[in-house]
Amino acid sequence: MDLNTLWFVLIAVLFAGFFVLEGFDFGVGLLLPFLGRDDRERRTILNAIGPFWDGNEVWLLTAGGAMFAAFPNWYAALFSGFYLPLLLVLLGLILRAVGLEFHSKLEAPAWRATWCALIAGGSLLPALLSGVAVGNLLRGVPMDAAMNYVGGFWNLLNPCALLMGLTFVMVFLLHGALFLALRTDGELRRRAAGAARGAWLPTVVTAVALLAVAQHATNLLRGGAAGWVLAGAAAAALLAAGPLSGRRPGAAFALTALTIILLTAAVFHALYPNVMPSSLDPRWHLTIYNASSSPYTLKVMTFVTVTLLPLVLAYQAWSYWVFRRRLTGSSKLEY
């Protein structure tokens, strides 16, 4: 494995970590207006993700930084061509972050209801548009010989990409409901588990529809082993029905996390060695070689990553261990 491939794999791992960890944050945010029956329950829902959400966002920032350093031409083409969708993703993340911090600053019902709505909207935008971006990468985007995106915003909102975005939303919704079932107790826990059972079938139906469309519109099912990885993701999603029906949210949560990891792996495997396929001419594909930094830069980045990444992972694992207990009716709420 050369350094270009190594960094492509590392970026895939970073995005997989972001989708798994931030995915349940998005799901919890989407469920906030529906599962919380009163102010105490809504605050409990927010405190379920309170110790984790800002750390989970770091995975996205690190993935973007890795793209900028390892594959600057990929970063430039992606962030210029997808400028408006990525700006909306950033807006959603800002709204959600501000909503979490300001929700409990005043006790006025209108104040808190407004921030709850903004948190839900700020969870929907990144979840939906992340899927739209992935769908367009798999489908191919209009790139010219100078590595410039020459399409418009509306080109990105094609049926396949929108269906991919809807699938992301549904998977994250299911993932978030299961996380709430693990982090809460009493009636709220039962309600979250019921929401997870109700979300499973629509999630599977949406994913099946996506696969039917993707077979003709993208290279997701034409990437050799990517098809087998995708089959593993589908199997994990289907197997989650057993723990869901048996009231075992922990096992179901592990299976939805595995589904997200395998789906991300399938996407990156289907892309490899491309990073942004051109729909205009195969000769204009951005690859891990024509989009990369110099070999020396990749060597320095590898050394720094090997040194610091274990410390970062250990710290985040420690934070999850510290805040592992369920929230109960007597728990102190900060958000």
219 confidence band (pLDDT: 50, 70, 90): low
Beta strands in the chain (DSSP E): 274-276, 286-287
Q: Model confidence over 75-104: pLDDT tens digits?
A: 999 988 889 889 999 999 999 999 999 998
Consecutive H or E run containing 184 = none
Q: Residue 147 in 3-state DSSP?
A: coil
Average pLDDT, the chain: 90
Distance, CA of 215 to CA of 210 (rounded, Å):
8
Report the candidate in 61, 77, 12 with the shortest Cα–Cα distance to residue 272: 12
Is the Cα torsion angle 166, 171, 174, 176 positive or negative in sign?
negative
How big is the chain, counted in residues?
335
- Which DSSP letter does residue 156 get? G
**What integer pLDDT is reported at residue 131 of this predicted model?**
93
C-alpha atoms less than 13 angstroms from C-alpha of 48 in its C-beta half-sphere: 35
Q: Is the pLDDT of residue 244 over 90?
A: no
Q: Model confidence over 137-194: pLDDT tens digits?
A: 888 888 888 888 888 778 888 888 899 999 999 999 999 999 999 999 989 999 999 9
Q: What is the pTM of this model?
A: 0.93
**What integer pLDDT is reported at residue 223 of this predicted model?**
56
- 184 forms beta bridges with 327
Domains, the chain, ordered by start: 3-308 (1.20.1630)
Q: Name the maximum alpha-carbon separation found in the chain.
A: 62
